[in-house]
Amino acid sequence: MLEKMTKLGDFAAIKFMKAAYTRRKANQSLSFFATHSLSHSHSHSNTVNPSPAFTTSAPKKHQALLGLGHNDLQDAVELFNGMVQTRPLPHISQFNKALGTITRMGHYATALFLIHNLQFLQGIQVDLYTFSIAINCYCHLNRVHFGFSILGTLFKCGYTPNVYIFSTLINGLILEDKTPEAVELFKKLMRNREIEPNVVMYGTIVNGLCRTGNTIRAVSLLRIMEKGSCKPNTIVYSMIIDGLCKDRMADDALKLFFKMKEEGIRPDVVTYTSLIDGLCSFGRWTEAFGMLREMLGSDISPNICTFMACLIGRIKA
């Protein structure tokens, strides 16, 4: 079936997620009823046909395999099929772990196909985490509107979406170059106090603002974080520093860098590389190599991007 799906080509029709539900009763269950064809981008061209399912009745084997972390799709799909054949069926959390492994490998269409197949298993009730995996997959397939459809189903089922689900949807909007819509959703959540934003959600918005040239707005959001209970971390600071450097505001980036260290936030290789790149682009070699020395003195190893920043900056000078 998966082999057939890979032949559908780009922009094939997608239909997913019609839910029949009753909930909060002893015999309640949630089922997916879906008929869909999944479009595949370049990242899904290597989707494989599932191997014949191995049969085993040893849940411990599943748990051991899940803990190893797969780098091969074939193994992950075989694991999922093996759990389907096991009696009694494993808990939904075990299926979620397998789906999470496949998702982290970047095989989002395959994960959606397997989630769809869960509807045929008697005694399995998908949970909020299963929904969040599906939303994440659609967002990475540039189908954020399907993610919002699932969000609507969550509300109808009586679930309360958490900050991670909203962060995923915000990121999905940003991936589709819909940063203004992402910012509006973020503002609405803040205004209605529907959720308490965490550093991941703030970081997602900061990333969207910086990549669209709205670094000054990202700095304003950073100030809100600094005054609030959710403090910015290295990732948030580094994204804004990188954005300032790309906007040719190296001095502002340096000021933020020094403030970051005053707050006890330790810079990483991304922070230093962004600054080195920004300083090199202005021909400020003394400061750039001073940053490199400080970086090495902090036991932070430069990466290829660091060396390329120095090289390209030197060429342009």
Residue 247, C-beta contacts closer than 8 angstroms, at least 6 positions apart: 213, 215
- Listed residue (191, 197, 195, 241) closest to 219, CA to CA: 241
d(CA 259, CA 85) in angstroms, rounded, equals 56
Partners of 18 in the beta sheet?
33
Please state, in angstroms and rounded to a whole number, the distance separating the CA atoms of residues 312 and 176.
Answer: 30
* Rg of the chain over all Cα atoms, to the nearest angstrom: 23
Confidence of residue 316 (pLDDT cuts 50, 70, 90): low
pLDDT at 215: 96
| 188 in Cβ contact with 153 (< 8 Å) | no
Candidate from 221-225, 286-290, 309-313 with smallest mean pLDDT: 309-313
> Is there a contact between 127 and 145 (Cβ–Cβ < 8 Å)?
no
pLDDT tens digit sequence for 106-165 = 999 999 999 998 877 888 888 999 999 999 999 999 999 999 999 999 999 899 999 999
Which of 5 and 236 is assigned the larger pLDDT?
236
List Cα–Cα distances, 188 to 196, 230, 291, in angstroms.
12, 18, 40
User: Is pLDDT at 56 greater than 50 in this prediction?
Assistant: no
Cβ atoms of 29 and 125 closer than 8 Å: yes
Task: Tell me 123's DSSP state.
Answer: T
The CATH T-level fold of domain 233-317 is 1.25.40
CA distance 52 to 55: 9
Please say whether the beta carbons of 170 and 136 come within 8 A: no
Lowest mean pLDDT among 149-153, 194-198, 271-275, 310-314: 310-314
- Among the ranges given (10-24, 134-148, 247-261, 277-291), the one the predictor scored with the smallest mean pLDDT: 10-24
* 29 pLDDT tier (thresholds 50, 70, 90): very low
Has residue 8 got a pLDDT over 50? Answer: no
The structure tokens 């959606």 sit at 112
List the single range of 11-15, 135-139, 267-271 with lowest mean pLDDT.
11-15
Spell out a b/e string for 80-89, using b for 16 or more CB atoms within 10 Å of the CB, else e. bbbbbebeeb
Helix axes 269-281, 250-262, angle to 10 degrees: 150
CA distance 314 to 167: 39
What are the pLDDT digits (tens) for 94-107? 999 999 999 999 99
∠ CA 174-216-222, rounded to 5°: 80
Summarised one tens digit per residue, pLDDT across range 209-262 is 999 999 999 999 999 999 989 999 999 999 999 999 999 999 999 999 999 999
pLDDT bracket for residue 25 (50, 70, 90):
very low
pTM of the model: 0.77
Contact assessment for residue 183 and residue 209, using Cβ atoms and an 8 Å cutoff: yes
In the chain, where the domains are located: 1-157, 233-317
- Average pLDDT across the chain, whole number: 80
Q: What is the H or E stretch that residue 135 is in? A: helix 128-140
pLDDT > 50? residue 180: yes
Closest CA to 33 of 45, 16, 14: 16
Per-residue confidence at 32, pLDDT binned at 50, 70, 90? Answer: very low
